[in-house]
Amino acid sequence: MRIAVTGRTGQVVQSLLACAQAAAVTVIPVGRPELDLAQPDGVRQALAAVSPDCIVNAAAYTAVDKAETEPELALRINGEGSGAVAVAAAALGVPLIHISTDYVFDGMAPRPWRESDTTAPLSAYGRSKLAGEEAVAASGADWTILRTAWVYSPYGGNFVKTMLRLAKTRDEVGVVSDQLGSPTSAPDLAEAIIAVAKTLVARPGDATLRGVFHVAGAGEASWADLAETVFAASAALGGPSARVRRIATIDYPTPARRPSNSRLDCGLLAQRHGLRLPPWQGSVQSCVATLLAQSRS
């Protein structure tokens, strides 16, 4: 099976490439300059050129804080660009898996978010991602939206890598403790995406497999909890470590508001697709081990 994935260097793209052989699929990154979501007119031609059996839209404008000063660009890429990918999938007659985010919610619910909950993004980034979901749903494509959260991996820039970098020069790191989420390993996410893609291709008429699903690491954590787990895993392997000073969101102001509750209820994905991601703690430990091994090679 041939899976075209938008983008080239992102965490999800790199993770899909890393697990493609074991999953017996061919992953074909399609990114700039051939495919640029900021230039939607060229999207269909770029995707058609690789003759995919399924398309994964993983490319996005992800600079959450910068989006507050570039809302039009974020909306063009995440909204119009995603819509163009969906229209291309419809024209090619192949299923689309669109990757979305916990930032479509306002964070006010007292429990993990369900797919049916009302969306109310707090930031320009969140609004642009919600626009993408709406464009995908209106495209006429055979679509599935996967919302995820707090993604980290051995690739690109992410929270786990930042913590390890800071621990090299600091004895103590202040980390927000009043935001809760579901830390998600991009390699775990990639395996789930491939499993969903295989099922969508194999069962084209099954409406229960389509729609919006949440997919995230099992369990929950604050950013401070996640940092402590990173440092403990690193220390156990002789890597850099630091103390965590738990702080409140108000003590670490950012241009974009973050949801205080980003936990995702992933029960529907388990029910419909038979998929659950593993507990986040073990996946963090594996990621830290990989990063330390890379730094020593």
Dump pLDDT digits (tens) for 163-199. Answer: 999 999 999 999 999 999 999 999 999 999 999 999 9
Is 155 catalytic? The answer is no
Tell me what pLDDT residue 205 has. Answer: 87
Contacts of 68 (CB under 8 A, 6+ apart): 123, 124, 255, 256
CA 109 to centroid of chain Cα atoms? 21
Residue of 61, 103, 125, 152 marked catalytic: 125
**Domain boundaries along the sequence of the chain:** 2-158+183-218+262-278
Averaged pLDDT for residues 208-233: 98
Look up tokens 């099954």; give the residue. 206
Q: What is the overall mean pLDDT for the chain?
A: 96
Tell me what pLDDT residue 231 has. Answer: 98
pTM of the model: 0.95
CATH number of 2-158+183-218+262-278: 3.40.50.720
